[in-house]
Amino acid sequence: MEELASLAETAGGEVIDMVLQEKRHPDAATFVGKGKAEEIAALSEDKDIDLVVLDDDLSPAQARNLEHLIGRRVIDRSQLILDIFALGARTSVAKAQVELAQIEYTLPRLRRMWEHLSRTGGGIGTRGPGETQLEVDRRRIRRRMFTLKKMLDKVEKDRRVRTSRRKDFARVSLVGYTNTGKSTLFNQLTQARVSTGDRLFETLDATTRVLRLPMNEVALLSDTVGFIKKIPHNLVASFHATLECVVEADIVIHVADLSYLDYDSQIATVRSVLDEIGAAGKQEILVFNKVDLVESEDQLALALRRYEKAIPVSALYGWGADALKERLVAFVLDRKQEVRINLPPQDGKLLSYIHKYGTVLERDMVDGRLSILVRIERRYMKPLAEYVEPSASQTGTSN
């Protein structure tokens, strides 16, 4: 409920009161019981409340019945989240993704929006103008859905072309619950200037930058939208292209907010969403951010005992950034091996290949041949295999 209040405030609302109901099953007609709906109606009248937000999704019929009983506009959690995404969308792609999600949410609810123009009854001669307008709107909306999907398909194809050029680098994605400081950490690691703020869903667009690591290694780091409990399914579908960088990542940095007492549930939610988008099972580095806000050292010690390999950081002040980079470079180096290659000096094609896919550590002329010590991923070794100096070949670098 506190999170729902934060969502409402992020959307620009002022939270006046909260109401809870202990109920074994939602009411099929009104979600909450009729008595509770009447209680909310009285509270809304007494405190001049003009909007009621429920923490779960409502069917169109439940929303309609509740509005009739309460006498106020009623929305559910998904509609609230969609509204926040619409407020935060800055680029044309993000706006298209949010609009598509909103349309998919709205389409089955159109009848409720036009019911005030429809006559009651059925059969010939009883169809009101609302019914006609309903069909017109449905056709318009389906055409708009087709246009948006076509646009986003093109965006995804273009993105795949771009990312195909990045396969030479280790790809790292920042994931985490919304407002855990992912973008601040992204800026700290890459010196980027991605927008940051103490609000939910500050970042909607995926951003990728070069991340320079120790030992002259390089990776590509992506920042993307934060996750949340009960995220609307149509949002996950609409943001497929944005979330694809997480699916394609070689490793994810999972950022958790240590200053939030129930960080366990946030960690579980993020891992659940990763599973939902097809990114479960990836190698993960868990990072506990905002250690500067933790009042007790015991809280940090307890978290590190429960999550032994987690790295404590303060993205705001840069604490722990070096430890995180060391962990990342260990991952990158584990995929590589150091070998000495002996090439004819005139073989410019293979020399170019080595510089493209490997990191040159030493380069000398020995007995008229070019001797190069290179660190390179094993998958790129095939064209170089016959030029490897057997005595200098190493099994690989592991940390």
| 63 and 196 both lie in a single domain | no
Query: Is residue 41 classed as helix, strand or coil in its secondary structure?
Result: helix
Strand 207-213 and strand 217-223: the pairing is: antiparallel
Domain boundary among 64, 88, 112: 88
**Residue 32 located in a structural domain:** yes
pLDDT digits (tens, 9 = 90+) for 109-129: 765 554 444 444 444 444 445
Neighbours of 186 (CB within 10 A): 26
| 176 and 280 both lie in a single domain | yes
| 100 and 65 both lie in a single domain | no
| 83 and 97 both lie in a single domain | no
State the pLDDT at residue 142.
87
**Residue 360 located in a structural domain:** yes
| 180 and 219 both lie in a single domain | yes
| Cβ contact 184:291 at 8 Å | no
**Continuous segment of H or E residues that includes residue 375:** strand 369-377
State the pLDDT at residue 122.
45
Residues near 178 by beta carbon (within 8 Å), at least 6 away in sequence: 200, 201, 202, 225, 226, 227, 228
- φ and ψ of 224, to 5 deg: -145, -175
| 25 and 117 both lie in a single domain | no
**Residue 399 located in a structural domain:** no
Domain count, the chain: 4
Residues near 234 by beta carbon (within 8 Å), at least 6 away in sequence: 100, 101, 104, 105
| 314 and 236 both lie in a single domain | yes
Domain boundary among 68, 88, 108: 88
**Residue 347 located in a structural domain:** yes
| 240 and 360 both lie in a single domain | no
| Cβ contact 354:344 at 8 Å | no
Residue with tokens 């598509």: 100
**Continuous segment of H or E residues that includes residue 251:** strand 251-257
Q: How far is CA 197 from CA 88, 99, 235, 268, in A?
A: 12, 23, 22, 24
Residues near 179 by beta carbon (within 8 Å), at least 6 away in sequence: 198, 199, 200, 201, 202, 226, 257
| 204 and 323 both lie in a single domain | yes
**What's the predicted TM-score (pTM) here?**
0.75
Q: What would the two tokens of residue 125 be?
A: 């001669």
Angstrom distance (rounded) from CA 19 to CA 289: 32
Cα 130–Cα 134–Cα 135 angle in degrees, nearest 5: 125
**Residue 397 located in a structural domain:** no
| Cβ contact 49:41 at 8 Å | no
Here the CATH number for the domain that contains residue 81 is 3.40.50.11060
Residues near 240 by beta carbon (within 8 Å), at least 6 away in sequence: 152, 156, 277
State the pLDDT at residue 198.
63
Residues linked to residue 286 through DSSP beta bridges, in sequence order: 254
Here the CATH number for the domain that contains residue 170 is 3.40.50.300
State the pLDDT at residue 53.
94
Q: What is the mean pLDDT of each successive set of 10 residues along the chain, which is 399 residues long?
A: 88 91 90 92 93 91 91 90 81 82 80 48 45 72 88 79 67 92 93 73 77 91 86 73 82 95 92 88 94 90 93 95 95 89 86 87 87 89 87 45
Return the exposure string of 304-328: e unless at least 16 CB atoms fall within 10 Å of the residue's CB, then b.
eeebeebbbbbbbeeebbeebbebb
Here the CATH number for the domain that contains residue 345 is 3.30.70.240
| Cβ contact 70:40 at 8 Å | yes
Domain boundary among 161, 193, 210: 161
**Residue 398 located in a structural domain:** no
- C-alpha torsion angle, residues 343, 348, 353, 358 (rounded to 10): 60
Domain that holds residue 176: 166-332
**Residue 299 located in a structural domain:** yes
| 228 and 328 both lie in a single domain | yes
Angstrom distance (rounded) from CA 353 to CA 219: 19
Angstrom distance (rounded) from CA 318 to CA 291: 11
State the pLDDT at residue 399.
43
| 139 and 211 both lie in a single domain | no
**Residue 179 located in a structural domain:** yes
| 68 and 11 both lie in a single domain | yes
Of 270, 264, 230, 235, nearest to 252 by C-alpha is 270
Q: What would the two tokens of residue 160 be?
A: 């795949």
State the pLDDT at residue 392.
42
